[in-house]
Amino acid sequence: MKAAIIGTTGYTGQLLLRLLDNHSDVTEIIPVSSSKPGESLFDSCRGVDSSLIRKLGATNGKFVSVDEAERMSPDVVFAALPHLKSAEVCGGFFDKSVVIDLSADFRIKDEAKFFQSYNQAPPRPDLLQKAVYGLCEIYKEEIKSADLIANPGCYPTCTSLPLIPILKKFHLAGPVVVNALSGISGAGKKASMDLIFSERTENCNAYLPGKLHRHTNEIIQNLEGSLADVDLFFTPHLVPLKRGMFVSTFIQLTQEISSADIQSILTDAYADQPFVRLVGEKVPETYDVRCSNRIDIGWKVFGNSLYLFSAIDNLVKGASGQAVQNMNIRFGLEETAGLSLHGNV
């Protein structure tokens, strides 16, 4: 199988390069870069071993332009590009290759809500309804025949997976309160004063609290798919980790519940899902899922109050790993192919 990565030099593009190198069904990788076409991949991708050349086919180890990549007819295209750029740059691949878009350009179906989140109309409204939201554990059947997959955001993945099965069974008695912590790589590879080491190390803060963050509408869309009427208070925080995401969610239900109820609901929902691990009343930790495509989910119950805790690696299950999982599902491959189930030491 031939796979193109657009935006190869970014964090998620770099990780895709490594995941696809380890994927036995991917025989050829086309590395696309708008900033470095014609330059040697090995000069800019410092950590990549020269053995990757065996998968770089006709590119001969050089970055190619988007136009050149189109002429190489990839089976699958991973768009690892900024929001509001991706749909435009990928224009020539739609209807020719399966496109897995890591940006938000196709995630929110409602055009007004998209505008509210991104302060701009969706770049390709004609494709919004065609795009399948690639939250693998929830939309697996739809992904199997999708030609355009909107890979979910890291915050929406980590927040939605624990909540969706619960909201299908119980009614909310109040708002959904989410506090989410993200490692710095979640912001991408850009030079920004806020993101330099001396500003971020030994430092932590909330940003865009309440209903301001652009992922709020994406999360609400996911939760309302569970037939709940959701009032969401989502507060992201930046913490001094390179990678990792931790989410604490608090909800109150209209009835008393037990820890065994939650265990049973989440087990029913996820028993056959290789990348979901239920840790019960233990609180999961980002270290345990580091570099893996797993989400770990824990909980605590107090009467009708429920805390849900979830941890992922923002770059893997929150981005490139879930994108490869989507490819595996779409092409009928082993769902775990090329992906790690284990956290790194």
**Residues making contact with ligand NAP (CB under 6 A):** 7-13, 33-36, 80-83, 85, 89, 102-103, 153-154, 185-186, 188-190, 314-315, 318-319
Beta-bridge partner residues of 277: 296
**Annotation says 90 is catalytic:** no
Give least dist CB 181 to ligand NAP, A.
13
Give least dist CB 52 to ligand NAP, A.
16
Report residue 275 as tokens. 């990348």
Nearer to ligand NAP by Cβ, of 194 and 256: the residue is 194
Report residue 56 as tokens. 């770089």
Give least dist CB 316 to ligand NAP, A.
9
Q: Which of 45, 90, 154, 158 is catalytic?
A: 154
Give least dist CB 66 to ligand NAP, A.
8
Residue 26: how many CA atoms within 13 Å on its side-chain side? 28
Nearer to ligand NAP by Cβ, of 295 and 319: the residue is 319
- For 238, the 3-state DSSP assignment is strand
DSSP for 7-67, written as a single string: STTSHHHHHHHHHHHT-TT--EEEEE-SS-TTSBHHHH-TT--GGGGGG-GGGTTB-B-HH
Nearer to ligand NAP by Cβ, of 321 and 338: the residue is 321
Nearer to ligand NAP by Cβ, of 185 and 328: the residue is 185
Beta-bridge partner residues of 301: 306
Nearer to ligand NAP by Cβ, of 178 and 257: the residue is 178
Give least dist CB 79 to ligand NAP, A.
8
Q: Which residue is nearest to ligand NAP (CB)?
A: 10
Distances in whole angstroms, Cα of residue 188 to Cα of each of 7, 14, 150, 318: 11, 11, 18, 13
Contacts of 190 (CB under 8 A, 6+ apart): none
> Which H, E and C letters describe 246-312, residue by residue?
EEEEEEEECCCCCHHHHHHHHHHHHCCCCCEEEEECCCCCHHHHCCCCCEEEEEEEECCEEEEEEEE
Catalogue the active-site residues: 154
